[in-house]
Chains A and B, each alone.
Chain A
Amino acid sequence: MDWLEDELRRALAREDAPDGLAERVMARRALAPSGAPRWLAAAAMVVVAVGAGGAWRQHQGNQAKQEVMLALRLASAPVQHIQSEIRGITQ
């Protein structure tokens, strides 16, 4: 074996990686988004936002409908009472 090649093997021997390199790589991997393309992730977010908006509007509609029905029931109660009183008098 050539002396220079021996010295080059010694000079260019593998060195240990810095402490914690593997952990830093794993942390970087954990922080990274999944394999899905960015446009797909953005599209998914839009769908979720639109769906949530629709559900909120439906919830608000149902609540308003229940309030109207309650108001009608409250308003009709005195009328029904007067009608029953009139029926009693006429009979």
Chain B
Amino acid sequence: MLTEAVETGCDFKALVRQHQATVFSIALHFLRDRASAEEVAQEVFFSLHRNLARIETPAHAAAWLRKVAVQRAIDEGRRRSRRPQVALEDVAEPAAGVRPGDPLLSELLRKLVATLPEAPRMVMVLRYQEDLEPAEIAAALEMPVATVKSHLQRSLALLRGKLARRGIGESGWTG
């Protein structure tokens, strides 16, 4: 099956192409640095190559890559200690009023997510980038499902409050 990839290299290349956006985006949204995200992605796929014989199915490959991408991104984040560089208070106001779907709102949300502590930040990335259920996030992060749900609720409440103070919300869009 996938072990043949060790000999041919074809399946490995296909796996890289198939999952590169997922792996790169997990690192990018967590680290907010494209160069670091690419470095993490390369390390993840290099690790996949070394462990290819253990991969049993395409679904196993997808889950394995997601889990390793999460671990490597967190490790890189700790190494670079990026999180303290962005405090909630430092996040700039959008230059103009925002509407649903406005790129300025998306950028503001990415910055706000970047200010979250490590665990809730990765929970948010996996929930809203990968559309994973809490149980799947719990498996990827090796934490209880209840903790995942707690992180989601608290993070959403925090972001909602920060946006409301900027006049951004369902009942009062600016602009």
Contacts and interface: CB of A to CB of B under 8 A. Distances in A.
Interface string A1-45: 011111111111111111001101110110010010000000000
Given A12-B129, A29-B46, A22 B21 contact: no
A12 B50 CA distance: 30
Interface of B: 9, 12-13, 16-17, 20-25, 28-29, 34, 38, 41-42, 45-46, 49-50, 100-101, 105-107, 109-110, 113, 124-125, 127-129, 131, 156, 159-160, 163, 169-170
B107 to A, nearest CB: 7
Nearest to A25: B45
B156 A5 contact: yes
Given A2-B156, A8-B124, A17-B20, 18 more contacts: A4-B163, A6-B100, A7-B105, A8-B159, A9-B128, A11-B128, A12-B29, A12-B110, A12-B113, A12-B124, A17-B41, A18-B34, A24-B42, A26-B12, A26-B13, A29-B9, A29-B12, A35-B50
Q: Is the interface of B mostly helix, strand, loop or mixed?
A: helix
15 contacts: A3-B169, A5-B156, A7-B101, A7-B106, A8-B128, A9-B128, A10-B106, A11-B109, A11-B110, A11-B128, A12-B29, A16-B24, A17-B20, A21-B16, A21-B20
Contacts of A32: 46, 49
A-B pairs, 5 with minimum CB distance: A17-B20, A11-B106, A11-B109, A17-B24, A8-B128
Interface of A: 2-18, 21-22, 24-26, 28-29, 32, 35
A21 B38 contact: yes
A28 B46 contact: yes
B21 A4 contact: no
Q: Is the interface of A mostly helix, strand, loop or mixed?
A: helix
Contact of B24 (A5, A8, A21, A28): A21
